[in-house]
With several copies, the nearest count.
Chain A
């Protein structure tokens, strides 16, 4: 990009759609499939305007048959299309996980690299608005645990567009998980960071590279998605007290940028992992093990893991906020780790 490249302020949702539209413009083989992706424009505005722009042969509403239409995406990808297929809420993975993890993700390997599945599976994640135990989960740990799919988790408009373009161009299957709370939807509480300037031109953000969202020297907060916003807010607050927090936005869980984690922890010696997915057997443990695989001595204090404490997401607001990694819990964890 040149210095004069034009930019617009976009919400994360719009930036994501912008990325899709750019690729659809460039490449006939990109299509969008899913429930309510057409006239409705995606329940979470993940396809707004695409039907009008590209027509009903490329932006296609499906029946509520996730196994069938995700499988259709796989077969179409195998034959050279580049489908973007939406699973409306990640919470619904249980009705169609076989196509996702046993087919989409394994065909490359089982075929010894002879068959490629260039497909993007988009899906909405996250809670915080009282949608209950079946509509509020993140589950990125579940997807990242299973081999063969990249797992991308943008936190802001710029990354949303750049990662989407990278995902579409990737010849491997990519699961693209967008947190409802970072989209900048008009009907949901939002962090100011869900709107930002984004270049109009297509650009890519490499999949597998973390971003230092805030440099700091006292403690490393490793996190993704909406929790990046919270962590940054907390970091700003603690800065006034002289606690210098580094915030690492992983941006993807697969590949995991282990280098970035190690570099940061080597610098700060203190680690807090903030994860809106369930605590156990997930992201937080993996981040910790990334350090201990190399040198537990890097850790000068016990690690704090701020995650959902192995409880289904409760409906009632106060209960839900008690289990989510809200800023208060993040702040308390950082204080505990730095001894402040």
Chain B
């Protein structure tokens, strides 16, 4: 149905994944830079919980390749890869994570609460609760007579939350242009998929909502790209929602500081990293050589470090203004 990605697109997919990974590596570094002595979660330039998405880049890259910034994406507590793949401004995103006045939310939101009207991007720290607002964005797009779509993301753990069910039913009932994405990284914090979900695939649940459901087993960006292409095309054509589940990989801990003692597969994890795999694929296809890969990486590093620098140099919000923006007039609470 969807054409396989052309050569340019394949390199683009790679570029997106590298950018996302580079960002996560920088966050990892900055996050841990000043938590010591010991580890104090509230300390440092980037305090609080930090959920990084390393290993899950194929999902974001493959899906967002079909979107423009007129389309909406609602992501999860683990939002960076989707934000980046969807084209969010890196500087303002980094600044938000550093809690600066120049951030997407002027430092009020933080890494789980990134809102970008320019790309119709948002995320939420409450699992599965990003699905319902995506319906509303899709509803508004449909109503305006456009072919814009909304992508809604959850993890496999979140797919057992009530909001999942309600959202799929309503989207199907009203034929809303939504693509539901489930990132199955095998874990909901320390709880393995088999202890949370009674079926091996959320794709089988799609039938209960009269929508196509696909599961991609191997965390391969091009397989995601193909499935997402079908789903986005269907949504743009006015044929309603679809569900895509990707069996992906949580390369690191649930959040930073997670010792992962519960994770028996931990040895095996680095070998499953999708990034070198895809690099190899593109090399074998003659689309990338060592220099080319290095250039992609260098470009990503430059962008990310620029964003980090921007963030660090940006002013912190004025504590006297902590009460502003509770209401739409921007005034104090």
Which residues from chain A sit less than 8 Å from chain B, CB to CB?
Answer: 35-36, 38-40, 43, 57, 61-81, 83, 91-92, 94-95, 98-99, 102-103, 106-118, 128-135, 147-148, 150, 170-172, 186-189, 309-312, 314-323
Contacts and interface: CB of A to CB of B under 8 A. Distances in A.
A333 B23 CA distance: 44
Contacts of A116: 328
B32 to A, nearest CB: 12
Given A43-B189, A67-B163, A76-B139, A170 B328 contact: yes
B57 interface: no
B136 A73 contact: yes
Nearest to B99: A316
28 contacts: A67-B132, A67-B162, A68-B135, A72-B132, A72-B139, A78-B133, A79-B136, A95-B126, A95-B129, A95-B161, A108-B327, A112-B104, A112-B105, A112-B106, A113-B328, A114-B104, A114-B106, A132-B111, A172-B327, A186-B38, A310-B333, A316-B107, A317-B99, A318-B319, A319-B319, A321-B319, A322-B320, A323-B322
B296 to A, nearest CB: 31
B124 interface: yes
A173 B39 CA distance: 36
Given A109-B325, A187-B257, A132 B169 contact: no
B143 interface: yes
* Chain A interface, DSSP helix/strand/loop, else mixed: loop
Contact of A61 (B108, B125, B195): B195
Given A79-B141, A103-B124, A109 B162 contact: no
A72 B124 contact: no
Nearest to B48: A130
Nearest to A69: B170
Interface in B157-175: 157-158, 160-163, 166-167, 169-170, 173
B324 interface: yes
Contacts of A170: 328
Interface in B110-127: 110-113, 115-117, 120, 122, 124-127
A311 B323 contact: yes
Given A63-B197, A95-B129, A109-B108, A71 B141 contact: no
A71 B163 contact: yes
Given A98-B126, A188-B41, A312-B326, A114 B105 contact: yes
A303 B328 CA distance: 31
B323 A309 contact: yes
Contact of A92 (B126, B257, B321, B327): B126
B47 to A, nearest CB: 4
Contact of B196 (A39, A64, A111, A112): A64
B329 interface: yes
A74 B115 contact: no
Contact of A316 (B41, B100, B191): B100
B163 A63 contact: no
